[in-house]
A and B are shown apart, each in its own frame.
Chain A
């Protein structure tokens, strides 16, 4: 697509070629390389979270096995299908842009955008369910007296009181923020939920068969990881939808064609990355056992 224009030699007047590039090929490759580098930064941004996941999962497998039962596999699976389908329509949209098929491009981008809305809608249903049951992150977590399997046992989150108005956890000692349990006057730091272990101490062998019936300590850590990972992913879905929306406006105005489709191509790459991250999140959070 580029050699033709190179020979035309009217760089100064070509609206699709920035002044500091010599050829379309150079411009296109630069744009692509820049996008891949940006995707690398996104992978590393999530990499920190996957690392935190790995650390807590290996140190406290019982928490993950117990808590993942509260996630809805059907809804998670539905969302996975929705995103994979949207990746298909997005890839197809890039092809349509390359071939200059404007109507098809508009249709496919619209379907992709709609899939984004479906994903967020399903996610909202899931979040609302967690919210109702107090299955929240960190200090807002409320212990579950009846878990998915009907197991009994109240486990209080360590440390601070939950500020939820309807907290059904009478065994939590109310504590003012930043003040540790009575007795520890030496430090303002709250005492640890368990003694220091560092990352170095290998977790002792735990019999995984008993999980799901005994409520482990510190379940809130799982929900912290869950909400931070899916929350950050959700923000990326929204960002991807904004980008696709911009592409849709461009497509309606007829900006894209065989001579100029790099923005659609890069938007597609971004959307595939968002999709790919979910494909890792879904089994790591929903399907463990």
Chain B
């Protein structure tokens, strides 16, 4: 095998001091998967505790810490950096035909900030955990005796890591495109990453100042959010959601970008409605800044504000639906093949569809008053974030795995894993929609006997999910050991990353790719059994 980015240099220093976006992507991937494992363990403990209405395996205080840490770890350490920093770092410059991101040192710095932020979060776990919920609502977060400061400091630092990734992506997309690649010649994953980066840059600093004020509140008694000192705790909620609502689009937009690639490639058909998908990413990013108030319908906002936020929330459904309909149209009359990434993409379509539509229930003022703070919210959130982002992350991970590692995973076990996760997910979370609509409140440690059946089903579903993830972990690791070497283009995609070797050489491309090409024109590619992948027709 010729020289590639993995064999370019050796030793731990060559990884820890690397400026290569591909290696930084791999460092990020290992880090976020570790965080995902940790968050998953917390989730399993929570579900096990909820198996019975009374104490099962832990006390009430421990339970409060568990759900806080599950939320904080999954959100700040896994799902926000997940697709952009791990997969995006690896793929984005290659898709542009560039040698690296615009600021390689800043890129490495962002990974180190991630590690420092993660260490602060770990510190809060070993010094007794936090029991405020991942939202750190005041005034409770200012008076609880748990380690709020270290966890919020961690989240603050992770925010800077996210900002640096965002700045890097915006500048890279603006300035490092090849001359022939106009904005509408870019793969849609890049449009999605660009929209994500805008939100990362514009929303994250507001979280930064919010957490700083919370830290100042606890450490110095500043009192800006403390009603006893004349402060306003609802202001905290405004600040927090001004970031954290756009943040859910930091999570979902890159997932939608992956979907656009996967649907086109595995339908072996040109993407339908390119410009609509591209613009809808920007539309979602724009509207995302205007809907934070829908988290606060019951916090004493004025009726006028509630009505406006409700209306704007409904608006988000339009660009989201535009994407879904365009993916469906892409599949229409395509020659669909059902490799693992496509199975995840189809799961995404179902789960994100349910998650998105239940969002409308919550965006309606009257129903929200009933459903607020129930398991309905928990189910909605997991359908969008887990059923949407995490499933898309898995699709992307399998889609680009051959490119990143140079190995093919076991397609048979890949399908088994995807199926287990789909079934387990629905059993876990669909039951939560039902019990939520029947009034089961979220975050409760004990509950009424009548909800026990739902909780049992949900917990069993979560065990199936866990088995699914173990299967995925096993065959992916196994593929590293003795997987079939991957061809340059195993799936038949026409974006630039499939034109360099698997795994890519250190500089990605010897020469900047200078022939203009449509990223979704797959008509010139044919499958070559000798290579085990797709090649250009002229060469076949």
Contacts and interface: CB of A to CB of B under 8 A. Distances in A.
Given A20-B176, A200-B301, 12 more contacts: A34-B167, A41-B201, A41-B202, A47-B209, A48-B210, A63-B230, A138-B231, A158-B228, A188-B143, A198-B302, A200-B300, A227-B222
Contacts of B221: 137-140, 160
Contacts of A183: none
Interface string A185-196: 000111111101
A48 B171 contact: no
Contacts of B223: 137-139, 220-221, 224
A213 interface: no
Interface of B: 98-104, 106, 139-140, 143, 145, 163, 166-168, 170-171, 174-176, 201-206, 208-210, 212-213, 216-217, 220-224, 226-232, 234-235, 238-239, 299-302, 305, 507, 512
B199 to A, nearest CB: 12
Interface string A2-32: 0000000000000000111110001001100
Contacts, number: 166
A29 B229 contact: no
Given A26-B175, A26-B176, A48-B239, A190 B227 contact: yes
Contacts of B507: 19
B230 A44 contact: no
A201 B174 CA distance: 44
Contacts of B222: 137-138, 224, 227-228
Contact of A33 (B140, B170, B235, B305): B170
B228 A40 contact: no
B230 A194 contact: yes
Given A20-B98, A34-B103, A38-B167, A190 B205 contact: no
Given A29-B175, A200-B301, A221 B209 contact: no
Nearest to B231: A221
Contacts of A201: 302
B171 to A, nearest CB: 5
Given A41-B204, A42-B205, A44-B202, A217 B224 contact: no
Contact of B305 (A20, A200, A221): A200
A30 B228 CA distance: 48
Nearest to A19: B99
Nearest to B216: A228
A33 B101 CA distance: 14
B300 A196 contact: yes
Give the size range of A's interface with the partner: 35 or more
Contacts of A84: none
Interface string A47-74: 1110110011001100100000000000
B143 A189 contact: yes
Contacts of B102: 20, 30, 34
B345 to A, nearest CB: 32
A44 B302 contact: no
A175 B336 CA distance: 70
Contacts of A46: 209
Top 8 closest pairs, chain A to chain B, by CB: A218-B230, A138-B223, A200-B302, A48-B209, A159-B228, A139-B221, A192-B227, A190-B228
Nearest to B204: A41
A34 B228 contact: no
B176 A33 contact: no
Contacts of A26: 175-176
A45 B302 CA distance: 26
Nearest to A180: B228
Given A38-B167, A138-B229, A30 B175 contact: yes
A33 B201 CA distance: 13
Contacts of A194: 230
Nearest to B210: A48
A37 interface: yes
A192 B139 CA distance: 10
